[in-house]
Chain A
Amino acid sequence: MVWREDSENAGLSLVRFENVGLRYGIGGEILKDISFAIEPQSFQFLTGPSGAGKTTLLRLILLSLKPTRGLISLFGRDSGSLNKDAITALRRRIGVVFQDFRLLDHLTTYENVALPLRVQGRDESAYRGEVVELLRWVGLGERMHVLPPVLSGGEKQRAAIARALIVRPELLLADEPTGNVDPTLARRLLRLFTELHKSGTSVVIATHDLGLMDQFDGARRLVLGDSRLHIYE
């Protein structure tokens, strides 16, 4: 893992929220006074009941939503001062696994996993071996020619995870990554995340699966409830 200059040298948090609040329109705040930091090479679960705002918080980290108040900094940079190109550059350092996978149905599994490299303008022949190797590692070596509608739920989940991992992100955000798979596959996926964490990636897993969290005792828990965040180290 190659750490970038601003997060490595400055010893800064990858993500820092300070008194962040978010409301839609004129309604009440759905997130209040959220303050936390995600440190390099850390592992945390983001949990809370359905509708508590886990996905919204992940979208704030991805800068696809702007907070109503407070400060968000990403890799040591204030999000308010970032232009579109800078946001794009920061997103390339983050891997995301969506709850509903978000695979593009007209692209094969291989093309979906290679997408983050393709959008960077890299030559296909330069990353082909890497993508094929990762697909085999997540058990999709035989399914790389297949379009997503043909894949099972578990296969889609693994393809989505492979797509998030292919850029060797510094930060991995996974939204309910085990929500659509059986317990055995859930354990396998968790092992995959822990291996990734050991290799130096910070991991945030949004889940309300207590069983999954119990399998990883050393993880920090960020619990959303009543629009506020409670942190259990």
Chain B
Amino acid sequence: MVSLIQASRRTAAGQTDSDGEARLRRDMPLVPATSIAGRALVTVIAIMTFLAALTAGTAILIAEASQAWRASIGQEMTIQVRPAVGRDLDAETAKAVEIAAQTPGVASARAFSKAESEALLQPWLGAGLDLSELPVPRLIVLKLDGSGKLDAAALRSTLTDKVAGASLDDHRLWLARLSIMAKTVVFVAIVIFALVVVAMMLAVAFATRGAMAGSREIIEVLHFVGAADSFISRQFQRHFFRLGLRGGAIGGGTAILVFLSADAASSWWRATPSGDQIEAMFGSFALSPLAGATIVVMTAAIAGITGIVSRVIVFRHLRRLA
């Protein structure tokens, strides 16, 4: 009986021991995870990431919208036939349509009727006017087939030779301006992102120096128990990578939420004139996969940069200590 009790006690003790070992807290970060400085740094990184993500998202939206404009404008050309003395404008217009329609690369050529041309002027000249006496030019809209076979210079030359008062507008000026505008926006976004990254690196450098000063005793103990500098700097890198990841996720996530909210709001206003204007300018605010991926990559990059900067600072500090 006694031996049974002893055996059961041993079993119970063994159970408790293994429970105790199972409950052991292991591998806690050697750099304390929570501190006021850490929270402040997370906030700074979150704000920086938010601004960078907002800039990048907006730049991508504008670049994509401009690309859509350029693609749609690039698929059209316009022939303008101006009235000339002694010439039948309708006949000249029909001739121009015929020349254009036979040109390789042109899918269709349609002349605006007189009424349609006058309707285009209505917003400026008002309704109810008799425009028959005014020299209103006629417009012909060419739709291109996208094969790239069109020789615009040759078509322009043919039209000039054979149709009095005809000129070809291939929207090159518009396309060039749009392209410059889109490139400028992307360039400004890259500059802002670079500034944000530099500011963040400085903030991380200061925070790391602060953390090193606050963890002086920890570093000393780690050295005495045989930790190599690479091990110590890895601990700090891990600590700051976590802070960077948290700050980046908060900032990037908030930026994505802002875009989603803007998209919802723009669809709400879509029927209104101002909503149409905004949509014409930016397209919809819906984040494309590219913009979403950019924000996610940016968040990861910011966390990575935070970790690397802290590692470099710690290495320098440890070298100075040596």
> Which residues of A are interface residues toward B (Cβ below 8 A)?
62, 64, 84-85, 88-89, 91-92, 96, 98, 102, 104, 106-108, 110-111, 114-116, 118-121, 124, 128-129, 132, 141, 144-145, 163, 167
Contact = CB atoms under 8 A, between A and B. Distances in A.
A102 B25 contact: no
B20 interface: yes
B320 interface: no
B102 to A, nearest CB: 79
Nearest to A169: B226
Enumerate the 9 nearest inter-chain pairs by beta-carbon distance, A residue then B residue, closest first: A92-B226, A119-B227, A116-B225, A91-B226, A106-B32, A88-B228, A102-B221, A124-B26, A108-B25
A29 B245 CA distance: 51
A96 B222 CA distance: 12
A128 B21 contact: yes
A85 B228 contact: yes
A173 B138 CA distance: 101
A174 B183 CA distance: 68
A119 B231 CA distance: 7
B1 interface: no
A165 to B, nearest CB: 12
Given A92-B226, A119-B226, A107 B28 contact: yes
A151 to B, nearest CB: 15
Most chain A beta-carbon contacts within 10 A, residue among B21, B32, B225: B225
B24 A110 contact: yes
Contacts of A98: 224
Given A91-B225, A111-B28, 19 more contacts: A62-B224, A84-B229, A84-B322, A88-B227, A88-B228, A91-B223, A96-B224, A98-B224, A106-B28, A110-B25, A111-B27, A116-B225, A118-B27, A119-B226, A119-B228, A119-B231, A124-B27, A132-B20, A132-B21
Contacts of B221: 102, 104, 115
A111 B28 CA distance: 8
B161 interface: no
A163 B227 CA distance: 14
Contact of B225 (A89, A119, A121, A129): A119
B30 interface: yes
A118 to B, nearest CB: 7
Given A84-B229, A110-B25, A118-B27, A102 B217 contact: yes
B24 A88 contact: no
B177 interface: no
A145 B218 contact: no
Given A104-B218, A124-B26, A144-B20, A64 B228 contact: no
Nearest to A100: B217
A219 B17 CA distance: 38
B26 A111 contact: yes
Interface string B1-41: 00000000000000001001101111110101000000000
Contacts of B218: 104
Contacts of B228: 84-85, 88, 119
Most chain A beta-carbon contacts within 10 A, residue among B218, B220, B223: B223
B13 to A, nearest CB: 11
A107 B20 CA distance: 16
Interface in B147-202: none
B24 A144 contact: yes
A64 to B, nearest CB: 7
A145 B226 contact: no
A145 B28 contact: no
A88 B28 CA distance: 22
Contacts of B229: 84, 88
Contacts of A106: 28, 32
A64 B55 CA distance: 50
A148 to B, nearest CB: 12
B171 to A, nearest CB: 65
B238 to A, nearest CB: 13
B30 to A, nearest CB: 7
A96 B223 CA distance: 11
A98 B217 CA distance: 12
B35 to A, nearest CB: 10
Interface in B195-250: 217-218, 220-229, 231
Contacts of A124: 26-27
A145 B27 contact: no
B30 A145 contact: no
14 contacts: A64-B220, A88-B223, A96-B224, A107-B30, A108-B25, A108-B28, A110-B24, A110-B26, A119-B228, A121-B231, A141-B20, A145-B23, A163-B225, A167-B226
Given A106-B32, A111-B28, A64 B223 contact: yes
A145 B26 CA distance: 10
A119 B28 contact: no
B23 to A, nearest CB: 6
A115 B222 CA distance: 8
A163 B222 CA distance: 12
